[in-house]
Amino acid sequence: MAAAQQKMHPATRIFVYGTLFFGVTCFTIFWTRFAGGLALVWPGTAIAAALFLSVPQSRHLGTAVLLVGLSTLATSVFGLGPEWAFPLATINIFEAWFIAWLLVRFRPERDYVDSEQGIVWLGFLAGLAGPFAAAIPGSLVVMQVVGGNWLEHAFSWGVGHGLGTLLVLPLALLLASYRQPIPEPIRGPGRLLPFFGIVLLTLTISAVAFLQSTVPTLFLPIVPLVLASFCFGRFGASVTVLNITVCAAVSLAMDVGVFAQLHLALWQKALFLQFYLSVLLLISFPLAVALKQRQRFMEELVDREAMQRLIADHSDDALLHLDREGTIRFASPASTRLSGLEIVEGLPLAAFFSEFDKEIVASALVSAAHYRGHTEIIERSVERSGQTRWLKAKLRAVDASKKQASTFVVTIRDVTERKLNEIQISWEARTDVLTGLPNRRAFLDVPEAQLEFADEQPFGFALIDLDHFKRVNDSYGHAVGDKVLKQVAQIMRENTTDDCFFARLGGEEFGLIACGSALETLSIICERLRLAILRSAMTDNDGGHFNITMSIGIAQISERCSSSMAMQAADGPLYSAKAAGRNCIRHAQHMRHFAGSSVRDRSSSTLIAVR
């Protein structure tokens, strides 16, 4: 970094501020002391406080010693003489250090000239707390030199030091924050000349306002003050107030113009001047800070908008902004592809979805507006160019005034690939890989939903077992056994209807659930299936043919029970079919008969027989 852009070294800063402090202190003591008392305005405290705030704490002691020496010298030559110069200098520098300590202690953000809250703390701590804390010991010292009432001296000290600090400290803090010799607000082509023009205008208008008393014109300096605040921000406001202060101080010192017409004591005129300049500060500096914050906000807004535009233009997601009625006011380029429309601005959000989803979209908007800060999610299928696509919309209400409805921001993404993967995973989890039939999990889900209403809507439950299937694997190999299972599954799929549900439960065991009209013909369906399996020629690896048979147990479930009891109801007749020689169908008694211990007894005997 170039030397001009580097922050000033602490030693250099102490030297520069020390020199400035000495010069300003000498000038102030020489020109603003009246009747041998205290200086009317004391800006030296502001310069010293700004120095303490801008150098490391480790250098405070050395800085204080230097400033005390300079203040002692100035007071000895131009002020109350050498006898009391050192005590007064010590109190003066302590006041500056105390103000700096208070500011850091109670406002560690150090935004004294950057925010409204910082300005308030600066005014209270630097304009009141610090000066009046030092006013009591200072007034006692002054009383020893010039006599008089210590309370009057304390008041003069507080007013003079508070006014000087308020007027100069903001400018000193601003100058301390700049890293280049020329302050940022007047740096750049075409900035310096207008700045000096406003300074000249301020001095001219202030001279007219203070040095004449024919026409009341104290309001006129507000004009260049506001202009400087708009054009040059906090720096312009500080310099303008300082210029107005100089003109007012000259008028007060010469006792001419508007102050000459005030039939008040000098300290009362000083109080009036303090009040007047404080009003100017309250007008200009908060305005300048607010303008600075607004400028910073606008710059951030422009940068953020540029970034959002860049993201929106290159995003595969549709980025939308909706008004309070849910109408699209802004849509990114991806909106055309996802909506299937050439233009979506001016359309409702439901334009992205089907006609059947309008109520869902409207409900989501109402919910988002009611629960601000909560993100509503809509995931629906749509038809695009003859294909089914899945869109996922996330919408959120933008925080707004409680008296106004919310606007909305929405992102819409094509989640077809993810949705198809989810469907595939769900299908695989519920499908037998070998045969393509539903597996045991999917099979048991069906009666789980129907068992609760079985007394009102009975359904049929059948267990199917391939006879002597182990012999097929042992004789022809497992590859042939797998082909047999696939062929059996194909025959079952051919017999599947909306009311007839087949599944592979494991190994050579299959299941069937029949409801509705299929329940009445369940026996016919099972017999047709048995004959189809019996008559289907199975092929071995050598091209030979063989046949297989199956045993089927059927139960009608007509009352509420668990899925395990329903399977037990069909397991009993299946065992009976096997015991009867296989390749046949057996029916269970009515489920009401098996609801008690007879079901458990029969199930138990079946398990023992299988083992």
- What local confidence, expressed as pLDDT, does residue 80 receive? 66
> What is the DSSP annotation of 476-540?
H-HHHHHHHHHHHHHHHHHT-BTTEEEEEEETTEEEEEE-THHHHTHHHHHHHHHHHHHHSPEE-
Torsions phi, psi of 263, nearest 5? Answer: -85, 70
- The answer to whether residues 169 and 308 belong to one domain is no
Beta carbons of 171 and 242 less than 8 angstroms apart = yes
- What local confidence, expressed as pLDDT, does residue 75 receive? 83
Residue 140: which residues within 8 A CB-CB, separation 6 or more?
A: 150
Q: Is the pTM of this model over 0.85?
A: no
- The answer to whether residues 533 and 544 belong to one domain is yes
- The answer to whether residues 330 and 416 belong to one domain is yes
- What local confidence, expressed as pLDDT, does residue 584 receive? 94
> Token pair for residue 457?
């809507």
- Decide which of 123, 154, 182 is a domain's last residue: 182
- The answer to whether residues 523 and 550 belong to one domain is yes
- The answer to whether residues 459 and 595 belong to one domain is yes
- The answer to whether residues 358 and 371 belong to one domain is yes
- The answer to whether residues 135 and 255 belong to one domain is no
- The answer to whether residues 235 and 305 belong to one domain is yes
> Token pair for residue 2?
């170039």
Strand residues in 156-266 grouped as ranges (E): none
Q: What CATH number is associated with residue 510?
A: 3.30.70.270
- What local confidence, expressed as pLDDT, does residue 164 receive? 80
Torsions phi, psi of 457, nearest 5? Answer: -130, 85
Q: What CATH number is associated with residue 98?
A: 1.10.1760
For 390, the enclosing helix (H) or strand (E) is strand 387-397
Residue 492: which residues within 8 A CB-CB, separation 6 or more?
A: 437, 502, 510, 529
Q: What CATH number is associated with residue 404?
A: 3.30.450.20
- For residue 381, what are the domain limits? 315-424
- The answer to whether residues 217 and 162 belong to one domain is no
For 369, the enclosing helix (H) or strand (E) is helix 358-370
From CA 359, how far away is CA 354, in angstroms rounded?
10
Q: Which of 260, 261, 32, 13 is nearest to 163 (CA)?
A: 32
Strands 387-397 and 376-384: antiparallel
- Decide which of 182, 207, 238 is a domain's last residue: 182
Range 477-497 burial, b when 16+ CB lie within 10 A, else e: eeebbebbbebbbeebeeeee
- Decide which of 408, 424, 440 is a domain's last residue: 424
Domain count of the fold of the chain: 4
- What local confidence, expressed as pLDDT, does residue 486 receive? 93
- The answer to whether residues 107 and 221 belong to one domain is no
Q: Which of 168, 236, 148 is nearest to 199 (CA)?
A: 236
For 338, the enclosing helix (H) or strand (E) is helix 334-339
Torsions phi, psi of 312, nearest 5? Answer: -65, -40
Report the interhelical angle of 150-177 vs 130-146 (nearest 10°). Answer: 130
- The answer to whether residues 27 and 156 belong to one domain is yes
Low-confidence ranges of the chain (pLDDT < 50): 1-6, 35, 591-611
- The answer to whether residues 300 and 376 belong to one domain is no
- What local confidence, expressed as pLDDT, does residue 311 receive? 67
From CA 486, how far away is CA 489, in angstroms rounded?
5
Percent of the chain with pLDDT over 90: 25
From CA 553, how far away is CA 390, in angstroms rounded?
43
